[in-house]
Structure 1
Amino acid sequence: MTDLKFPQEFLWGVSTAGHQNEGDNTTSDTWFLENVSPTVFREPSGKACNSWELWRTDLDLITGMGLNAYRFSVEWARIEPEEGRIDESALDHYEEMVDACLERGVAPLITFSHFTAPHWFAKEGGWLDGGSAERFARFCDVVMDRFGDRIALAVTLNEPNLPRLLSWIVPGFVHEQTRATLKAASEAAGVERYRAGNVVQPEDYDELEAGLTRAHLAAKAAIKARRPELRVGLSIAITDDVAVGDDTSLRDRKRAELYDHWLRLAQDDDFIGVQNYEQVVYGSDGPLPPAEGAAINEMGSAVEPASLGGAVRYSYEVANVPVLVTEHGVGTGDDSVRLNFLQPSLAGLREAMDDGVPVLGYFHWTLMDNFEWVGGYSNHLGLHAVDRETFERIPKPSAGEFARLVRESTSG
């Protein structure tokens, strides 16, 4: 085993998202989209992992693994279920989570928008509406006013580039399902265009990108107005795109379309969040199939530990700000694949750091199997399984392996 040593101040954690874990997020756009007909979602989220009630249990799992940080989202739909009405009990809930993290010696990292938004916001056109950035900044200010003095880092947006990235992956019929879902939602809500951040039709990509760009800048300004010294950034989805041979045009076009706008935007931020799950190898005619005998993840691509180091290196090359690995993992029902994936992935990250890439921390996605958006409960990215009836968290061997790697990387 490679001897892995990371700085003492390195952040070791897991990432989760409110809608995917908490359950019963009934005033959100995603909940509404899950329950219209037709819908692109495989199934509704329902109680999810019941983390709204069991969050202390989740924190115990985190501290039990010896982690020193936890990234979670605050749900705008819970805090502002109706425009202009703040639910103080929801703010109390998230403030209690932040304080409980600190009591346990765990740094709380807050994601202000992890895809979901209020139902009322989506009825107004979501991020495509001209006033969306101002509304989002107002929400961020409310959160900062309540407990922003105690958070460790702030992520404004989670994967604003994901819709474009998925357009390189999903078959055409998914776009038709998405259009049908948004049409059904608009009709059910009685509005001209019901729009969300992670159910997006291709014809809205440009307008969505512009709206989310404005939202990030407005949110950052609102957060910094409360705490100028707080490190603020955004997180993007990024595959490790590798070109074989002399023709790099396809790989370069993908980078230009999917990542470079956000990486350049991050040049004025305090860090860039990198969320990496796979490597894609391109020949001159398109992506190459996985090598014979390679382990395959639930996305159908090869499990490649080197992808993390490659994604981190490219992100830093363009953004030129410190990197925070805000998500990294593998979707698989075979936990032995995940267990064997962790150490070489972290070794590649350490090598990138040795080569001069400043990395602030590593957050594994995710603490437990949860609601994976349109895929429902069919995907398995957790270090713990969850009993769908009792919500018992059941540790997988990979949870123990991650804890071991963290312990050994910081000892001595």
Structure 2
Amino acid sequence: MTSFPDGFLWGVATAGHQNEGGNVHSDIWFLENTTPTLFRERSGEACRAYDLFESDLDLVAGLGLSAFRFSVEWARIEPERGVVSQEELDHYERVVDAALERGLAPLVTLNHFASPHWFSAAGSWLAPDAAALFAEQADRVMARFGDRLEAVVTLNEPNLEQLLQAGDKLPPVAEQLKRDMLAAAARAAGAERYFASNVLPAEAQADFQEAFTVAHRAAKAAVQARRADLPVGVSIAIADEVALPGGEARRDACRAAVYDHWLEVARDDDFIGVQNYERTYHDASGEVVPEGPRNGMGTVIEPASLAGAVRYAHQVSGVPVLVTEHGIQTDDDAQRAAFIPAALEALGEEIAAGTPVLGYCHWTLMDNFEWIFGYGPKLGLVSVDRDTFARTPKPSAAVYADAVRAARAVPAAG
């Protein structure tokens, strides 16, 4: 392994709705239970991480890691507008303290897609007071345990829909089902319209990008009003866009449509969160899928994609990078075990070349609820029995731990 900077954060990333279970006051829960629905199955008890977080943190610490990224679920803390649950704030404070007790730096995401049902029924992020409401949530989180956090991510992948549309990731039938589901949800909620952060119609993209931007800045201001030294950023979904001969214009157009807005916003932030899972190739005619072993997303497995995404994110934003998610969707854990050290080696070389990277969080700790795709996709270092919720580390978990140990053993450059 090449050297990594002193103080580099080695961690895993998780998300509340995908892991905790029973997020009944959220918009995603409401959409899962809407007819028709785009969700293949309901989240239900998820991985029961709400109750099992201490043993889950033991797993993380047992891998020799130093950071834990998780989301504080707004829908739990404010299940009804203006009704704040001190018990839920107590719960997340216990998670923060339990992480610190195990030597894990808490990295908190304020919104990992799921929002309160009442918020989405009242116009979601397009409502005039959306940013102010989000800032209030950020403030109450900071007031309770902001003094113990390592970094804050405001929004998780606010550019996800642009990425899906740029690559035609969802077929037209799915786009129509999305519209039908949102219309049905609005009727059921007695609302004029209904949205969720990761379920947005194509024609609303520009409006949501503007609204997300205002909300991000408002939340950042609220966080740093409480603690000016706390690093704050936004995390974006970003593929490593590669131009084949003649494909430069198409690659650049994709970057401009999907990433550049947020990379420019990040120029005023403390870091840019990079969430990378694939490399995309472009020639003069469009996107090209080369031959080679594929991951569960259907793209060629390319460990160096993370380094490429990190490089571009820093080039445009000018701020340090925090890898808030990176992993591989596959049922074959041997692929994951080979993928992780190769990706980290390439990342280390990028750091050695001068790109500042604060840390790396693997997505994800355990197989979980992958949104509209349900429990089918496997991205975890740990498997979860769907009946007993027993956790079983996969061989890739030990491989990741070994890679981290090896990276720490190499003297830092300079």
Please give the range of the TM-score, normalised by the shorter of the 2 chains: over 0.9
Q: CA deviation at 1:290?
A: 2.9
The answer on whether the counterparts of 2:3 and 2:352 sit within 8 Å (CA) in structure 1 is no
Give the aligned partner of residue 201 of structure 1.
Answer: 201
The 2-side partners of 1:244 and 1:402 are apart by 32
Deviation digits for residues 248-284 of structure 1 (CA, Å, limit 9, x no counterpart): 1111111000000000000000000000000011111
Q: CA deviation at 1:60?
A: 0.6
Q: In the TM superposition, what are the counterparts of 1:282-361 in structure 2 within 5 Å?
A: 282-291=282-291, 294-361=292-359
The 1-side partners of 2:336 and 2:186 are apart by 40
State the SS of the aligned residue for 2:31: helix
Q: CA deviation at 1:8?
A: 2.6
The answer on whether the counterparts of 1:5 and 1:408 sit within 8 Å (CA) in structure 2 is no
Percent identical residues: 55
1:26 to 5, 24, 27: 24
Give the aligned partner of residue 382 of structure 2.
Answer: 384
Q: In the TM superposition, what are the counterparts of 1:10-409 in structure 2 within 5 Å?
A: 10-168=8-166, 169-291=169-291, 294-409=292-407
Give aligned pairs, total.
408
The 1-side partners of 2:241 and 2:182 are apart by 31
Deviation digits for residues 87-111 of structure 1 (CA, Å, limit 9, x no counterpart): 0110000000101111111100000
Q: CA deviation at 1:173?
A: 1.5
The answer on whether the counterparts of 2:186 and 2:192 sit within 8 Å (CA) in structure 1 is yes
The 2-side partners of 1:388 and 1:228 are apart by 43
Deviation digits for residues 53-87 of structure 1 (CA, Å, limit 9, x no counterpart): 01011101100100000000000000000111100
The 2-side partners of 1:212 and 1:78 are apart by 21
The 2-side partners of 1:48 and 1:62 are apart by 19
Q: Aligned letter for 2:174? A: V
The answer on whether the counterparts of 1:267 and 1:319 sit within 8 Å (CA) in structure 2 is yes
State the SS of the aligned residue for 1:71: strand
The 2-side partners of 1:64 and 1:54 are apart by 15
Q: Aligned letter for 1:176? A: Q
The answer on whether the counterparts of 1:164 and 1:205 sit within 8 Å (CA) in structure 2 is yes
The 1-side partners of 2:254 and 2:173 are apart by 21
State the SS of the aligned residue for 2:61: helix
Deviation digits for residues 293-315 of structure 1 (CA, Å, limit 9, x no counterpart): x2211111111001001000000
The answer on whether the counterparts of 2:304 and 2:342 sit within 8 Å (CA) in structure 1 is yes
The answer on whether the counterparts of 2:4 and 2:351 sit within 8 Å (CA) in structure 1 is no
Q: CA deviation at 1:289?
A: 2.0
Q: CA deviation at 1:286?
A: 1.5
The 2-side partners of 1:206 and 1:128 are apart by 11
The 1-side partners of 2:294 and 2:255 are apart by 24
The answer on whether the counterparts of 1:67 and 1:406 sit within 8 Å (CA) in structure 2 is yes
Q: Aligned letter for 1:207? A: D
Moved over 4 A (4+): none
State the SS of the aligned residue for 2:281: strand
The answer on whether the counterparts of 1:384 and 1:395 sit within 8 Å (CA) in structure 2 is yes
State the SS of the aligned residue for 2:154: strand
Q: CA deviation at 1:411?
A: 2.2
Q: Aligned letter for 1:203? A: E
Q: CA deviation at 1:195?
A: 1.4
The 2-side partners of 1:247 and 1:13 are apart by 36
The answer on whether the counterparts of 1:274 and 1:324 sit within 8 Å (CA) in structure 2 is yes
The 1-side partners of 2:370 and 2:247 are apart by 35
State the SS of the aligned residue for 2:386: coil
The 1-side partners of 2:19 and 2:149 are apart by 20
The answer on whether the counterparts of 2:242 and 2:281 sit within 8 Å (CA) in structure 1 is yes
Q: CA deviation at 1:395?
A: 0.7
The 2-side partners of 1:103 and 1:143 are apart by 20
The 2-side partners of 1:165 and 1:173 are apart by 18
The 2-side partners of 1:67 and 1:238 are apart by 24
The answer on whether the counterparts of 2:247 and 2:285 sit within 8 Å (CA) in structure 1 is no
Q: CA deviation at 1:170?
A: 1.7
The answer on whether the counterparts of 1:73 and 1:110 sit within 8 Å (CA) in structure 2 is yes
Deviation digits for residues 288-347 of structure 1 (CA, Å, limit 9, x no counterpart): 1231xx221111111100100100000000000000000000000000000000111011
Deviation digits for residues 347-393 of structure 1 (CA, Å, limit 9, x no counterpart): 11111111110000000000000000000001000001100000011
State the SS of the aligned residue for 1:282: strand
The 2-side partners of 1:182 and 1:279 are apart by 31
The 1-side partners of 2:124 and 2:293 are apart by 39
Deviation digits for residues 112-145 of structure 1 (CA, Å, limit 9, x no counterpart): 0000100000001101111100000001000000
The 2-side partners of 1:290 and 1:71 are apart by 34
